[in-house]
Structure 1
Amino acid sequence: MIVKNLISCEPQEEASVPLTFDVVHPANQKVVFQVERSSTESCAKAVENCQRAFTSWKVSPLDHRCAIVEEAARLIEDESSGWAARLAAANIQETSSTKWWTEFQLKDVTGFMRELIQACKEVIQSQTIAGHNAEIIVDREPFGVCLAIAAWNAVHLLTARAIITPLLAGNTVVLKSSEHTPYTQRLWGELLYAAGLPPGCLSVVHVAKEDASDLVSQLLADKRIRHLNFTGSTAVGSILASLAGKHLKPTLMELGGKAPVLLLPDADLVTASSHIILGSFLNAGQICMSTERVLVAKSRYRELVAAIQETWTNTSVSETPALFSSSSAERVKSLIRDARQKGASSVIGNDMESLSGSYVSRTILGPAQNDMEIYREETFGPVSIIVTIDDESKSNDEVIDEMIELANDTDFGLTASVWSRNPVRALGVARQLECGAVHINAPTAADVPKVPHGGWKASGWGRFNGVEGIRSFTQTRSIEVGIGDPHALPLHIFDL
């Protein structure tokens, strides 16, 4: 099977079998699919088709655009349509995503799509402002052709928001698929066309890893590409932001994280322990919002360790999922080795070396010190660390202040979690954290569809979700309409 580009909804005639690259399953290293290898010409054709479609799509009634997205959501929910089964099967074929993680996304994504529909209806309407002898109309208009690059790790949710948000706002979209999930992301394009999306409004191009730098540079240099949204690593995001800046293209960047959990002195550690485990190990830690650091007073460290170990012992867990590549797994193992060599012990996980290939044992280490590589690097694996705050001869307020300082002592700022029995105190702490979202008495890995989602600092800028997400894919135009006497302008006050 060759997974082709989706340049329009119409079948593409091929003069010959295109050049391909392989998708390799991370668990067994077997080739799953061969994928069409995009060229300079195919990327240019994708942009051309989207530009042509934009002329009519941008003026299409908002209700029409919303109806298409609603129909796509209905197709996912309708078991007889087979769409949910196809999307789930493709994702599991390409990655080590568990059946639960895949099905969770597909259940969640339809609600997300409907929240976007509602948000779009709130945002895409003209606003009138009274001025001096004038009325000013402020319109929100689409940018044009948007380039979307969505990561593989939560492919259904990330792909949906990357393409549906700009489409609802009246843009057309070129989606550069992840080299790990090209089939799943092509299916999202097919789904939207099946729901009634007009031809050319969405193109999906597959780019081999070795071609990515040249072809993405080509796309960003194309004057017809007016906007970029990217979800992925901070390292790649930095490169893309630089390229986009060179061509003055606006961007939305949702990047990496180093999410802290702050266990205030009065926190319920037993309850928190289950949320720490969930936040650390969900999807093998391959989520930008994963719990990476747990901050606790030194006097409560042993109590926390006991709570985590008891919770883990009583938790029914599946087999450890594979990470997305063997090189990623080795990098995570290297971080664990470094931490152990510098004094950290395993609270959970002792059999790291028994797992080979792309597998890493679920691990929580502590106490961690700031000279360990894992203290600052995003692991993007099933690993978190416990950092203790010396609370001897210190007041609770002093301990909390130090926790806040340590939580903010990172280049990242995506999400955080604060635990306390005192909601007022927890709220006060939350408002001092340098990140895009804080969850009180809840895990770090949480995302509410109608609430703005995005990071501070090296975790990115711009926002997905809700009305802020729609605004991210529009630009304003102000029109001043004079309503006074056009001859009444007192020219004598100007130094002409």
Structure 2
Amino acid sequence: MIADSARHSKPLPLLEGERQHRMYIGGEWVATAGDRWLAVLDPAVLTVIGEAPDGGQGEARSAVDAAAAAFSEWASLAGRERARYLLRLGERMRESSDDLAQIITAEVGKPLRQARDEARSAAAFVSWYGEEAKRAYGTVIPSAQRDKRVWVVRQPAGVAAAITPWNFPLGLIARKVGAALAAGCTVVVKPAPETPLSGLAFARLAEDAGLPPGVLNVITGDAATIAQTWLADPRVRRLSFTGSTAVGRLLVRAAAERLPRVSLELGGSAPYVVFPDADLDKAVDGLSRGKIRNAGQVCAAPNRIYVHESIADEFVGKLRAMVDRVRVGNGVHPESQMGPLINEEGYRKVEEMVAEATRRGAEVHTGGTWVGEPETRTGWFWRPQVLVGAPEDCAILREEAFGPVLSVLRFSEEAEVVERANRSPYGLGAYVFTRDLNRAVRMAEALDAGIVGINDPLPAAVEAPFGGLKESGYGREGGAEGLAEFTEEKTVSLQLD
């Protein structure tokens, strides 16, 4: 554990040096009518780094009012005109990536290097969708009748709502908002209460980039009240949500009354399959990049590590050596490779899951819990940990763990591991390490997952769709498919004289 004394004595950049930050509605920076505030904590040092408005129904309605008023003009712009705004915003984000990284690290705790990667990825999404705004293509359909012409056009859906999580507080806003704006929608955004400042910084840069008032609105506050208000408003035609499967179900039930299209990127319990012919060092490094990143708080992170029995002992030895080298500490320190869990709730969840697994026979090979005396705790740090042989009905394998616990399971046959991997109700990500091309193709086709990495621990890409199967949700973000989520297809049939 890296010793820590950092306490964010300096104001965070891009936020005007304030401690109390305001929401962005209709091109104005506003507080709540009742002067209600949410404290934002740095999970590495457990100190308040700022406050955001605790908005509710009134603010949610005001945001939709502003977005609805701006929709007609924004939707009528040519794709190239919308592209200019998005490309300018993407450039502002790239120029401000170090400042954005400081905010991300302060809110989430992830190391600055990872926070910079998130900021640059967010800028890349906005810029890519700036280019894609020019390419919302329609289709000409050859008619079965010689005196008819049929074509399909894509039109902006209307006001779009985005509800985003805390683990990638800038990246997931950019991925949703970039696509929606490119499609011609105006947007209302609600960041997670743990990490509202990244979303407000995004709004600040959008304002600097000249985005017209009302096109983007960012409000903070009570998630349930805001979501219910938006789902009940007939002007909101799309809602994009990233978060837990449990909350996703609640949103679908609420949306059933009015039937806006809802896009959901929900929980995961990704299998990570290592075959005997794999490059073991590459497979171990993949877990360093895919599971240690953000302290394992990634929806598509490997959760069930299936290793062929013939190489399991060697693999566990290499995995343990990798885990023991990870430097845990405050993300502001350059030497830190992994930061804390987001809060006490997340810490206790991991603690309880590991305790259950060990009670039921899992071997603990390294890591876990806080290192040092309890009175020296400065944040919710959990040392990366290797478990071997936990029963597959344990919570840590059955549910989304959201922590840096690497659970290793042995398998013997390809068909067996496919069946075990697909038992999960989730289907977001899956990973396969093998040098056998035929096996790679078979596994990619057999695994129930929306995205499969073959010898690739980070398969998500700006230009490709991302989303899940089964209880991991539906709808796609990224790529041309992400833009299509925010459009309506209209068929036009012309009868010739």
Q: Which position in structure 1 is the counterpart of 2:168?
A: 154
Counterpart selection for 1:46 from 43, 56, 63: 63
Once the two structures are TM-superposed, the CA of residue 16 in structure 1 deviates from its matched residue by: 7.3
Out of 103, 116, 129, the residue aligned to residue 90 of structure 1 is 103
Whether 2:179 is the aligned partner of 1:165: answer yes
Report if aligned partners of 1:3, 1:182 keep a CA contact under 8 Å in 2: no
The 5 A counterparts of 1:173-322 are: 173-208=187-222, 212-313=223-324, 318=336, 320-322=338-340
- The AA in structure 1 aligned to 2:92 is L
> Runs of 4+ in structure 1 displaced over 6 angstroms?
14-17
How far the C-alpha of 1:352 sits from its partner, in A, is: 5.0
Alignment map for 1:455-470 (pairs within 5 Å): 455-470=468-483
Say if 2:388 is the partner of 1:366.
Answer: yes
Q: Is the 8 A contact 2:323 2:384 kept in 1?
A: no
1:56 aligns with 2:59: no
Match for residue 406 of structure 1?
Answer: 420
Which residue identity does 1:362 align to in structure 2?
A: P
What's 1:2 paired with?
20
Q: Secondary structure at the match of 2:132?
A: helix
Q: 1:326 maps to which residue? A: 344
Q: Which amino acid aligns with 1:359?
A: F
Between stretches 341-350 and 455-464, larger displacement belongs to: 341-350
1:65 corresponds, among 82, 87, 90, to: 82
Q: Distance in 1 between matches of 2:56 and 2:117?
A: 35
Q: Structure 2 regions of 5+ residues with no counterpart?
A: 1-18, 329-335
1:446 Cα deviation from its structure 2 partner = 3.2
Distance change >3 Å, CA 139–CA 162, structure 1 → 2? same
Does residue 387 of structure 1 match 2:399?
no
Whole-angstrom distance in 2 between the partners of 1:360 and 1:186 = 29
Partner of residue 137, structure 2: 125
Q: From the superposition, tell whether residues 214 and 75 of structure 1 become closer, same or farther in structure 2 (CA, over 3 Å).
A: closer
Residues 91 and 387 of structure 1: is their aligned pair in 2 closer, same or farther, counting only changes over 3 Å?
A: same
Q: Which residue of 2 aligns with 1:490?
A: none
User: Does the C-alpha gap of structure 1 residues 409 and 159 become closer, same or farther in structure 2, counting only changes over 3 Å?
Assistant: same
Alignment partner, residue 138 of structure 1: 152
**Please, what is the CA RMSD of the aligned residues?**
2.0
Cα distance between partner residues in 1 of 2:493 and 2:396: 55
Identity of aligned residues (%): 30
Residue in 1 that maps onto 2:455? 441
Match of 2:486?
473
- Deviation of the 1:403 alpha carbon: 0.6
The number of aligned residues is 466
Which TM-score applies when normalising by structure 2? 0.89
* TM-score of the pair, normalised by structure 1: 0.89
Q: Which entry has the higher C-alpha Rg, 1 or 2?
A: 1
**1:68 is matched by which residue type in structure 2?**
Y
Aligned-pair CA distance for 1:95: 2.5
Q: Distance in 1 between matches of 2:68 and 2:233?
A: 11
Cα pair distance change 1:15/1:151, threshold 3 Å:
closer
Unaligned runs of 5+ in 1: 392-398, 486-496
- After alignment, is 32-41 or 446-455 more displaced? 32-41
Distance 1:353 1:236 in 2: 34
Report if aligned partners of 1:146, 1:227 keep a CA contact under 8 Å in 2. yes
Stretch of structure 1 that moved more, 199-208 or 304-313: 304-313
Q: Secondary structure at the match of 2:64?
A: helix
Displacement, 1:11? 4.5
